[in-house]
Structures are given as structure tokens and as C-alpha cells.
Structure 1
Amino acid sequence: MTSPLDHTVRLSRPADFIAIVPYMLGFHPERSVVAMAFEPGEDSDSGVRSLRFSVRVDLPGQSEDTPDVARGFAELLTRNGTERVMLIGYGPGWHVTPVMDAVRGALSDAEIDTIDALRVEDGRYWSYMCLDRECCSPDGTPYDSAHNQAAAAAVFAGHVARADRAALAATIAPAGGQDREQVQVATRTVCTQVRSALATDGGHGWYQAGLTQVAAALDHIEAGRELPADMVAWLGVLLTSIIVRDGAMTFIGRYDDDTHLKLWTEVTRRVEPEFAAAPAALLAFVALRIGDGPLARLAVERSLSADPRYSLAGLVACALDHGLPPEMTCGVDCAEMADEIGAQAAKHPAATRPVLPEGW
């Protein structure tokens, strides 16, 4: 699920809806169905409605999976109180049409009104609901998103539409080259220091060390500076403690969401892959909080690739699967938990110790 853009964009023609979707998702969708959910109009005769959120699902690979996809779509929209949607399917007719028919049927059964249902392929769109051949040619209607005012407004506001989902995934993929070598060397050094300290230390001081590193990293990001390799290494190691990871979440609200997003994106990319579970899960949580469902999903996948049982990533995945609206996460005051988490750290100092992955 993805929140609407954080500024006013007027959508009136099918081409406008098509043009804005990539900027809501962060990438140009392929072989997908997207639903744009709108607030009910104050005046039933008025066409003016606010976009609440959008949701995208892959077209099923097997035709027998289509009914489940359609039901899941309708259930997610129903849980979020959706009354009106615009549907857009991406791909060839043989693949999109059966899915679109099933989704429209499921939405009708759920008493959700479909404003229009479009299929998009190779720079043309077709409407499943417009029967006027003069308006909607059987050959499709050409559109040009590059010169669309809605797309231009999104670009002006700083939104980016990457080529595809893989391009978005690349933004949090492990870094390479010289930076990878520097962080790896720094991580080896940090792990050596930590093992030495763990041999004589019962756990006191690790929690505060973690908070200090997180605060310093946030200050670096806020000032527009890249994190030094040793700071990335220390963050990766200290966040292997769940309590320290929870302590990092208490900074949400004390720095703006964009600063957190940039921090955990950078750490997820640059940290040694074995240490990526915690920063990627934190990135997933922040992305969920701001309504960036595609990034949240990718960050969950990155976290679980490092640790398939990482619970925070699993919780974010569950929220995404059930269509938890971003405002539910925004309502959690993470800063309020600081005293409680700090008390837990003081009571159980051993739980604040780093847990080094095998081989480190």
C-alpha cells in the first residue's frame, strides 16, 4: 500500500491517472494491477475526490490463482473502508483481462464502485468500461506521460519514478567497490574490539554506545554528510542487539522521517550483508510509516535475506499483507518508549551485548 503524494495534483483524464502511478509507487509497474482508492465525494454528483492510497499486486503467473488475487484485493480495500477505486492493469490483454474481470467482480460484490478500469501497454490504454468507440478506440488511445502535467507536478515536488521494481531494489542493494572494502575492513576491526570487550564486560555501556552512534549518524545525515566507514561498521554491529535496535526506533519523531529514511537506506546499502537485518527492518518500518509500501516491501525482503526469522521485518511484512494504513504507524509515538526501553536495558544489560554473526 502506498500513500498519496504529499501535494495537490489534479487528475481528470485517464492519461493523468496513468502518468501519476509510477511516482506513487516509485517505479514504472509491469505485469501488475494497481488500484487507486479515493475518498467519497462530499457531493455525490461532484467529480472532486481525494486520493487516499494506492495498492499494487503482480498479475498471477497461473490462471487458477486469479480468484485468490481478486478476493485478496477486495478484502484489503474493504478493510480500509474504500468506496471508490480506479483500476489500471499493465500488460498484454490475454494476461490483464481475466484478472481485471475477476477484480471488478470481487469489488462489485464488496460494494466498491469502480470509477474506470484501464489496461496499459506500449504507450496506449484501453478502457474496460467505456463502450464508445469514438472515445475509446479498439486500437487503444495513445498517451504521453513525459509531457503530462500530473507527472510534471510530481517531478517538481521531488518524486522519482524508476524504470522498474528492480531499479528501486537496486537503491538498497549491497554497495560494492572501494566502499565495500573499507566497510568490510572497518567491520573486522570493530568485531575484534567487541570480542575483546565482551570477554571482560557484562553488558554495561552497550546500550548507551548504540544510542550515541545512532544520534551521531542521524546528525551526519541531517547535515548532508556521508557516514564514515567506521560509523557504518559500528552501527551494523551494535544493532545486532534487539534492545539497541529498539533504542534506535526511539529517535523516530526526534528527527524528521526523511532523515531516518536516508540514514537507514545508506546503512542498509553499506553495512556488511550479514549485519543488514536490523537496518533494513528499520528502513522498512520508516517506509511503512510514510506510506512507501514498495520500498517497505523491498526492505523487508532485504532484512529477511540476512535473517529469515527477523521479527521486526516479519511484523512489517504482516502489516503490508493486511493493508495497514500508514496513519496507524504514524500514531505510534516511538520517542515515548525511550524510558521504558532504557529501563529494560538497565535491568538486562546482557541483552544489550552485540551478537556477532558466525564468521565475524
Structure 2
Amino acid sequence: MIVHALPVFDVSNPAEAVEALPFMIGLQPERSIVAFVFNQRINQPVGVVRISPPADPQDWPEAGDDLMHKVQLVLAQASSEADSILLYICPKGADFRSGKTTVAHFAPLAAVLSAAARTKGLAVLGTYFATGTHWWDLQHPGQHPEGIPAHGPHNPGPVTTEAVVAGIPMPPSMAEIIARFEPGADAGPADDEAAVAAAHRWVDRIRAEGPHAEDARFGDLLDRLLLDGGDGSPLTDLTPEVIADLLTGMQIRHLRDIGAQFVEPSEVRRAHELWCLLARRSADRDLRQAAAPLALAGFTAWLVGEMPAAAIAIEMACMADPSNRLAHLLAGALEAGTDVEVLADRMRALRKARLERRQG
């Protein structure tokens, strides 16, 4: 995730820098490496980059290279110079280790990231390990070995107070965002059975009627649910059979791409609700089935300006199925700072052509 438009806070010390982190990236991070890129000459941040840290320490050097690649993208897109960087390591709740164990485990990662920054000529202003309740200065591991209490929603400090006065909302946690589209979160035995039956139905119908008839059936189903706002039926009332048919069809690239065509204001929020629902009801244990609805959930979040949710969903789609072309196209466009309306206009053209073919 790359953030270009940053709120401005009066940050004067490391404690305030940690407190400002969620407001700067629009979420309370977990399982994240975050880099603030600074131009000290004008005393302003140029951009922010977030990546997910590898679980295996052997992959940490690759994470450092990936972080610096994204930092270079920030600088190219901002047409700005930078001379320094501020690094944060934020664990998932289950990864939390207290006291000296925390520093011992994460200090090597901090050293790898700092070395990667210095190879790009960036001074490292600080490296912090931050949880929702405490933070550690990894450049001075001997100080405060049990951590320093962190300011935040339940312990507001000057940055949180400044945000409240400015009307900046409290950012959601990553867990809250992921819960909207977590693969398999709501799947049950009925979804497992329906997924198997749907695959057989698709094969039988294609053999009996040919692939074009099945393509038309899938497009008609999506149009009924979403076109111009859809038929108004509650998406939560969709049966396991319909959900399984949608998930099965979305494994076919040209059918999955139909889902990206619902980009109008009257459609996009309902479309986002549908893609999130499909991801949560995905019954595929290796997660590949969830990649398509995750990518579309990310695209629709991007369309309505929910950038943290967009970045997380698209990243999860790429991880769920590394071969998913749509997910990687969206990830590349997001990194490159592409105007999402450019993508939406392309989808509108494809949709117009599809509907004209159907009518004529």
C-alpha cells in the first residue's frame, strides 16, 4: 500500500510519531512494515509505504528490497526528493512478544530494513516496534525493555486530540477491515456441498448447451443483482447454490471480468457488498476461489475512496492466487498511482459492448 495524500500533524518526538501512524495510513496496522518517506529540507513527509512482513526471517532481505522499490515509486510519483525515512514494525496481535524478547526477535528485521534504506541514500530517523498498547525504539534496544505505553483511542495523546479537533475519524483496525472480506469466514457445510454441486452443474450445462449459453446465464445473474443498483433483493438472502454458481463462474477469467463492470455510483456499494459476501462464503480451503471476489472487493473499495481496504483486499487476492491476472493488474495500478476513474472508464466501455451484444 502506498499513501500519497497525508494529513499534517505537529509531531515533535518519537511518542507522537507512533501515535500519528494510524492517522497517516488510514488504519491501525497489524502485521505491517510501514515507512514514512521524508524531505527534511521542507520538514514534510513525501509519502507512506506499507508492506506485509514475511514470516520467515530468511525472507527479510527481500522485504527490504520490496519496501525500497515502493519508496522509489512514491518519489517518482510525487516528483519529489527525499533524504530520510522513518520505519515502523507492527506485529499481528498473536505475534506480540513482551519485553526483551520483542527486541531480540525484531531488531534483526529493523537492521535489515535500515540497511536497505541506506543503500538508497536515505538516513534512518528512527525504527519503532509498535503495538496497540506499547512501543519500543529498536535503534536503542536497551532503553525501556518492557516498552513505552502508546497513546491512541483509549489513551489519547496530543496527536489524537489534534485529530479529533480537526474532525479526522479514528482509523479502523486491520482486523476490522479484513473481517469484511476474510476468505471462508462465513462458509459452512452447506457451502462446501454447494461448491461441489455447482462445478458439476456447470460441466453438465456446458456439455448440453455450450459455453456461450453458460456465459450469458452468468452475465444475466450479475446484471439482475447489480445492474443500475440491482433488483433490490437482500444479498444476504442468496442461497448457497447461487453463491456457489457465482464463485464457480468467477474462476473463468472473462466471466470474472464482467464483475469489474459494475462501477456506477448506483452500483458500486452493492457490488462491494456482494464481492465481500462471496469472499467470506468461499468454501475453497486453499483460498484460490476467493481471489476473484477479493480483487473485486478491492477495486470497488478503491472506487469509493476506501484506500486501506482496497490495498488490503487486493494484496490478499494476489496472495490467494498468484496467477490471478486481475488482482495483479489492480495491484500494479494502485502502486503506480493510477486514477481509478481511468480503469472505471475502461470497464464502462466493456460493459457497453457486452450489453449491446446481448440486445442485438
TM-score range relative to shorter protein: 0.5 to 0.7
Q: Deviations over 1:23-71 (max 9, x none)?
A: 74755435x5321345x58xx45x4x36633313426744x65544433
TM-aligned CA distance change 1:256 to 1:87, over 3 Å: farther
Q: Deviations over 1:123-166 (max 9, x none)?
A: 1332738xxx9xx87876432322236558599737421469xx
- Correspondence for 1:74: 68
- Correspondence for 1:126: 137
Mapped partners of 1:88, 1:126: distance in 2: 10
- Correspondence for 1:157: 169
Offset, 1:200: 3.2
- Correspondence for 1:180: 188
Mapped partners of 2:192, 2:275: distance in 1: 18
1:29 maps onto 2:30 in alignment? yes
Mapped partners of 1:109, 1:184: distance in 2: 50
Q: Percent same amino acid among aligned pairs?
A: 16
Offset, 1:110: 1.7
1:299 maps onto 2:317 in alignment? yes
The structure 1 residue matched to 2:47, chosen from 46, 52, 63, is: 52
Offset, 1:242: 2.0
Mapped partners of 1:295, 1:338: distance in 2: 24
Q: Deviations over 1:225-262 (max 9, x none)?
A: 52512442332233233222112112235557554433
Given that residues 183 and 282 in structure 2 are in contact (C-alpha distance below 8 angstroms), is that contact kept between their aligned partners in structure 1?
no
TM-aligned CA distance change 1:247 to 1:117, over 3 Å: same
1:265 maps onto 2:238 in alignment? no
Mapped partners of 2:55, 2:282: distance in 1: 34
Unaligned runs of 5+ in 1: 347-360
Offset, 1:263: 2.3
Given that residues 205 and 214 in structure 2 are in contact (C-alpha distance below 8 angstroms), is that contact kept between their aligned partners in structure 1?
no
Given that residues 136 and 145 in structure 2 are in contact (C-alpha distance below 8 angstroms), is that contact kept between their aligned partners in structure 1?
no
TM-aligned CA distance change 1:113 to 1:148, over 3 Å: farther
- Structure 2 counterparts to residues 1-360 of structure 1, below 5 A: 1-3=1-3, 8=7, 10=9, 12=11, 13-21=13-21, 24=25, 26=27, 28-30=29-31, 33-37=33-37, 40=39, 44-45=41-42, 47=43, 49=44, 52-58=47-53, 61-62=56-57, 66-81=60-75, 83=82, 84-90=84-90, 92-120=102-130, 123-126=134-137, 128=139, 141-145=148-152, 146-148=154-156, 150=159, 157=169, 159-162=171-174, 168=178, 171-176=181-186, 180-184=188-192, 194-218=202-226, 219=229, 225-229=235-239, 230-253=241-264, 258-273=269-284, 275-286=289-300, 290-291=307-308, 292-302=310-320, 304=321, 309-313=323-327, 315=329, 319=332, 324-327=335-338, 331-332=342-343, 333-338=345-350, 342=354
Count of matched residue positions in the alignment of Structure 1 and Structure 2: 323
Offset, 1:299: 2.9
Offset, 1:294: 3.0
Given that residues 27 and 168 in structure 1 are in contact (C-alpha distance below 8 angstroms), is that contact kept between their aligned partners in structure 2?
no
Unaligned runs of 5+ in 2: 76-80, 91-96
Offset, 1:108: 3.2
TM-aligned CA distance change 1:251 to 1:51, over 3 Å: farther
TM-aligned CA distance change 1:341 to 1:311, over 3 Å: farther
What is the SS of the residue equivalent to 1:33? strand
TM-aligned CA distance change 1:22 to 1:257, over 3 Å: farther
- Residue type matched to 2:275 in 1? W
Q: Which has the higher contact order (CA 8 A, sep 6+)?
A: 1
